[in-house]
Amino acid sequence: MTDAEKLACEEAYVTILNRFHKIKTLIAACEKIDPQQRAPVAAVAELRSVLDHVMRAHMVIFGQRTEADVKSATGYSAAEYCKHNFDKALAHLFRAGYDAYDIISLSLNREIKAFLQGRSMEALFHVIPDLGQRLAEIEVVQDRLASIKADKDVENSESELKQYQVYEENLPILFAFRKLLWKHMSAVVLYEQEMRERDEVTQERAAAAEKRNTKRNWWIAVLCLIAGGVITYGVAYLFAPH
């Protein structure tokens, strides 16, 4: 390979190294939030593929495989072969990050759903007036993330980067919304308690009013009965023969 081709290989390898630390951190975060350990299993498989492609390129770079052998087996020149494998390695690395981000997003959505479930919408909108707008934003984010799940084949680093970036750009919105909900959780619970107390007072007043009405109606019925008896007796007395 020429010096320029070797430099291009070094730059591709450095790109992989720079991305590796962040994605490894994402995978470690998944191990804490995913009891089924789905992300680590999938991500480790992707990292194994990263290592495989890097080693293929390094075998050529460090002279463990001749260019003639590469050309005969693959049709690529040494430079093309290394570029191809580094690109594949980077694509698998993005896929590992994608898998980790996917589990994190599922965890965030579960937390958000658990918080909203059973909560009074009146209390939520009272404490968070722009909740409707925020929920609409979350729905858009969830739709975006769902739309990229269909295509899981590793094609090249460019296509995988686009999918990875969708998560990278949208997960902060889920994190921010979860933070907002937890920030206002005590206020929502307190307002719900106030609502229950108001309902109890209203019910007590309604019960007291009903009791008064029942008592009044009872007295009216008694008085009407007495009055009816008096009138009947009076009429009978007036028309009776004396």
Q: Specify the residue for token string 């007291």.
A: 208
The answer to whether position 206 is within a domain reads: no
pLDDT tens-place values along the chain, 242 residues long: 788 888 898 999 999 999 898 888 888 888 777 666 666 677 888 999 999 999 999 999 988 988 899 888 988 899 999 999 999 999 999 989 888 888 888 888 888 998 888 888 899 999 999 999 999 999 999 888 888 776 555 566 777 888 888 888 999 999 999 999 999 988 998 988 887 787 776 676 776 667 777 777 766 766 676 666 656 665 555 565 65
152 DSSP 8-state letter: -
186-224: per-residue pLDDT in tens? Answer: 899 898 888 778 777 667 677 666 777 777 776 676 667
Q: What pLDDT is recorded for position 125?
A: 92
| CA pair distance 76, 57, nearest whole angstrom | 12
Q: Specify the residue for token string 């907002």.
A: 180
The answer to whether position 99 is within a domain reads: yes
Integer-rounded Cα Rg, in Å, for the chain is 37
| CA pair distance 20, 145, nearest whole angstrom | 22
Q: What pLDDT is recorded for position 101?
A: 87
Q: Which long-range contacts (CB under 8 A, 24 or more apart) does 184-188 make?
A: 184/127, 184/128, 185/115, 187/127, 188/119, 188/120, 188/123, 188/124, 188/127, 188/128
| CA pair distance 66, 128, nearest whole angstrom | 66
The answer to whether position 201 is within a domain reads: no
Q: Which residue from 51, 36, 140, 118 is spatially nearest to 88, judged by alpha carbons?
A: 51
> Distance of alpha carbon 71 from its chain centroid, rounded?
48
Give the ranges where the chain is alpha helix by DSSP (H): 3-33, 38-61, 67-74, 78-116, 121-127, 131-147, 157-183, 185-239
State the amino acid at position 235 in one-letter form. V
Q: What pLDDT is recorded for position 17?
A: 92
The answer to whether position 47 is within a domain reads: yes
Q: What pLDDT is recorded for position 201?
A: 67
| 240 phi and psi angles, rounded to 5 deg | -75, 145
| CA pair distance 242, 239, nearest whole angstrom | 9
- At residue 119, the 3 state secondary structure works out as coil
4-13: per-residue pLDDT in tens? Answer: 888 898 999 9
The answer to whether position 224 is within a domain reads: no
Number of structural domains in the chain: 1
Query: Within 10 Å of residue 173's Cβ, how many Cβ atoms?
Result: 17
Count CA atoms within 13 Å of residue 207 on its CB side.
Answer: 6
Residue 51: domain span: 3-183
